[in-house]
Structure 1
């Protein structure tokens, strides 16, 4: 039996109140061709629970999962080992919540966790402060652009060609509603990122420059040079980090002049999880703190002089008047932030550095072996644990054929940039501490067979 809490009269009254003639009027912003006109063709009208379970299990069995095959996918989501202690600790009753408390001072444990999380992110990013997390990396990137516009009172953002295209799409989608001018530079299949093109795009109307570090092709831009050029015109630099493990080995963006650093925290503690939920990271210079979206937990002392924690700033539309809010999508992914913080605590500073070194070593081993495959070359002059491999034919086809051979062999640039010219032979390959010698050899052997079969 369906549960329908509203009567026809209830619905009619609600529609009349908001001035809509029918429920269909609420979906006018969705193109007509994207709306269903009736039931989905091919789906049964009903089935028993057991029949649905059997059918869904059969579909799931067709998947090639990350843990069951050599895995070299990255492009913003990375397979790292998550210690069992992380999952154990996040399920403790004191922690098991996804939210920042709305009566914060009575939840000292949650506030302390978020305070520690903020400290870790600020140290990792090289920024003065960090907030209590955000929804994910892409929306954190957009929030940083909005923040830069508030700080500089300018409305032109430059996106480097090395920014992940999904992040760029989120930015352009949101900018339609704010009328911000978004300048998206074209991606280039070059051994080093085109920092000169980024610098050349900066002018006196620019509010910010958005640079991914390392970028979507695994290259490492010169943040210091870009920061110097941006600051000369009064623009801010937003660094985007999709692989936080890299910061165990390369310089923190804040130390290179970045004013705002955002990123995706999935690599530490969270796991792949079919694309979500993930974790947005956000740090900035202290002088910009009142323009920072999200919430900020602070440390204080109570009336008895004992250490305590408070919700110091909360500029979110759920907490204050909407017109005064800095954001309405700065969801605090509390449980994922906790997992991130526990994993990073278990590693410590030295452990993170060792983990990063292992990742880089595994990547070097992978690319050295792939470079021995006839017709294959490595694009990058520098990389962390991910780089672009150039193949003699369209990488999208190669990826599918590798999957048929039980190897998840990377992400094709043609999939990420379907309309860009000259990128389709690029394959983005990532290696982490989970990559084994056997995985690397299986990948190289399968790739050689696939490419040889095409030329036969």
Structure 2
């Protein structure tokens, strides 16, 4: 029997209090075609635990794990080797069961970990201060846009055409509630990012310019040039990084003038896991902006006896202060994923991260050379880290699907990312990491050559 604690009268009273005519009015922002009018078709209303377990096992057999195929998927989620020690440490009881560390006297381990995590992110991004993490890269991107509006008192947002379209869509969705004007664009299919076109769209009403680094096509934009143009108009530069391993090889966004740096931390310590949970990173270059940051920050202090300790220093979130004073409604952080990131980063160290980045780049160059030698295949990029775009002369979605039948996950087609724009459909984004063997590259080359012949 279902437990329904509220009566019809209770529900009517609550709806009347908030001024909603009925329950359906609470879901008007969900497209009607996406709403359920009854139970999900095909699912039984009742089943035993054993029957459900058997059914779920059968469903799981349809999955293809990244390790069981020649794997070249990327575009914001990357397969890297995660040492077994990371999993061992994050499953210790004091971490796995820890929640928000409200009481520092019983949460010193968690607080110290978050403090060290913040220090690692700040150094990686070339910034002064980082927060204790966000939900994921796309929501961190929106929080940066909202922060820029608070800092500049402006409402126009210029998005690079080469920003990940999912990130751009999150920004557009949230901007409906803040009335920010979003000036977006499509990626230019050329060897270098269209910095001149981006800079031309910046005006005196611009609060921020959002640029991905490396971008969705794998190219590496000149952030310094964009930062100078943005600052000349009183705007902030937001740099988005979806592949933190790249920062072991290229300059940090903060060094190049980015005011706010955000991104996805999944590559360090967090496996693909069929889509999450992931880890949002957020940092600012200028300490004066720290009070406009979303989420919370952990700080170092001393206790009454002078011993080193850790506390929540700033918590400008709506759960801690008056809601109208909050910088964000984010009410938690990705604590366990942040721990995994910090443990993995500690194991790597600076030298290890640089070596890992060098190996990623070496294998990517090898793959790019071999793929671009296939008749009909053209390498788009002039520069890249571990991800690049090739043009294959056909709709890449069809080719990717065909190669999947050969156990080759060839990459992410631009047609999948931009389904409404035919001009992009021949592009294929290929990602190569240290987990990619030279045999995998040979397998991809042979399969693609056979499909395009």
Taking structure 2 as the reference length, the TM-score comes to 0.96
Task: Show the counterpart of 1:235.
Answer: 235
Displacement, 1:97?
4.0
Contact 2:318/2:331, CA 8 A, preserved across alignment:
no
Q: How far apart, in 1, do the equivalents of 2:144 and 2:76 lie?
A: 18
Q: How far apart, in 1, do the equivalents of 2:143 and 2:9 lie?
A: 41
Displacement, 1:185?
2.0
Task: Show the counterpart of 2:207.
Answer: 207
Q: How far apart, in 1, do the equivalents of 2:97 and 2:390 lie?
A: 42
Bigger drift between 346-355 and 230-239 goes to 230-239
Task: Show the counterpart of 2:352.
Answer: 351
Displacement, 1:16?
4.0
Displacement, 1:324?
0.2
1:53-92 aligned at under 5 Å gives the runs 53-92=53-92
Q: Secondary structure at the match of 2:416?
A: helix
Contact 1:413/1:423, CA 8 A, preserved across alignment:
yes
Taking structure 1 as the reference length, the TM-score comes to 0.96
Displacement, 1:98?
5.9
Pair 1:294-2:295 in alignment: yes
Contact 1:135/1:330, CA 8 A, preserved across alignment:
no
Structure 1 residues 222 and 330: alpha-carbon distance in aligned structure 2, compared to 1, 3 A threshold:
farther
Q: How far apart, in 2, do the equivalents of 1:309 and 1:327 lie?
A: 23
Displacement, 1:21?
4.3
Q: How far apart, in 2, do the equivalents of 1:98 and 1:70 lie?
A: 37
Q: Secondary structure at the match of 1:289?
A: helix
Contact 2:295/2:333, CA 8 A, preserved across alignment:
yes
Displacement, 1:227?
0.6
Displacement, 1:23?
2.7
For 1:129-173, what per-residue CA distance to the aligned partner results, in whole angstroms no more than 9, with x for missing partners?
111111111111111111111111111110001100000000000
Displacement, 1:28?
3.1
For 1:50-90, what per-residue CA distance to the aligned partner results, in whole angstroms no more than 9, with x for missing partners?
33333332232222221111100000000000000001001
Q: Which runs of 5+ in 2 are unaligned?
A: none
Q: How far apart, in 2, do the equivalents of 1:298 and 1:310 lie?
A: 5
Q: How far apart, in 1, do the equivalents of 2:29 and 2:402 lie?
A: 39
Displacement, 1:297?
1.0
Displacement, 1:105?
4.6
Contact 2:364/2:433, CA 8 A, preserved across alignment:
yes
Q: How far apart, in 2, do the equivalents of 1:277 and 1:38 lie?
A: 29
For 1:190-226, what per-residue CA distance to the aligned partner results, in whole angstroms no more than 9, with x for missing partners?
1111011111111111111000000000000000110
1:218-257 aligned at under 5 Å gives the runs 218-257=218-257
Task: Show the counterpart of 2:30.
Answer: 30
Task: Show the counterpart of 1:137.
Answer: 137
Contact 2:98/2:110, CA 8 A, preserved across alignment:
no
Q: How far apart, in 2, do the equivalents of 1:45 and 1:94 lie?
A: 39
Task: Show the counterpart of 1:309.
Answer: 310
Task: Show the counterpart of 2:389.
Answer: 388
Task: Show the counterpart of 1:273.
Answer: 273
Q: How far apart, in 1, do the equivalents of 2:195 and 2:38 lie?
A: 51
Displacement, 1:375?
1.2
Task: Show the counterpart of 1:334.
Answer: 335
Contact 2:193/2:221, CA 8 A, preserved across alignment:
yes
Contact 2:151/2:292, CA 8 A, preserved across alignment:
yes
Contact 2:100/2:332, CA 8 A, preserved across alignment:
no
Displacement, 1:99?
3.6
Q: Secondary structure at the match of 2:215?
A: coil
Q: Secondary structure at the match of 1:354?
A: helix
Q: How far apart, in 1, do the equivalents of 2:331 and 2:436 lie?
A: 34
Task: Show the counterpart of 1:377.
Answer: 378
Q: How far apart, in 2, do the equivalents of 1:174 and 1:347 lie?
A: 36
Task: Show the counterpart of 2:40.
Answer: 40
Task: Show the counterpart of 1:125.
Answer: 125
Q: Secondary structure at the match of 1:253?
A: coil
Displacement, 1:359?
0.4
Question: After TM superposition, which residue ranges in structure 1, 4 or more long, deviate above 4 angstroms?
Answer: none
Displacement, 1:437?
1.3
Structure 1 residues 47 and 288: alpha-carbon distance in aligned structure 2, compared to 1, 3 A threshold:
same
Contact 1:140/1:330, CA 8 A, preserved across alignment:
no
Contact 2:294/2:330, CA 8 A, preserved across alignment:
no
Q: How far apart, in 2, do the equivalents of 1:42 and 1:310 lie?
A: 50
Task: Show the counterpart of 1:51.
Answer: 51
Displacement, 1:39?
2.5
Q: Secondary structure at the match of 2:263?
A: strand
Q: How far apart, in 2, do the equivalents of 1:59 and 1:92 lie?
A: 30
Contact 1:105/1:311, CA 8 A, preserved across alignment:
no
Task: Show the counterpart of 2:437.
Answer: 436
Bigger drift between 58-67 and 283-292 goes to 58-67
Task: Show the counterpart of 2:418.
Answer: 417
1:107-118 aligned at under 5 Å gives the runs 107-118=107-118
Q: Secondary structure at the match of 1:4?
A: coil
Task: Show the counterpart of 1:449.
Answer: 450
Q: How far apart, in 2, do the equivalents of 1:444 and 1:236 lie?
A: 42
Q: How far apart, in 2, do the equivalents of 1:399 and 1:369 lie?
A: 18
Q: Secondary structure at the match of 1:387?
A: strand
Displacement, 1:187?
1.2
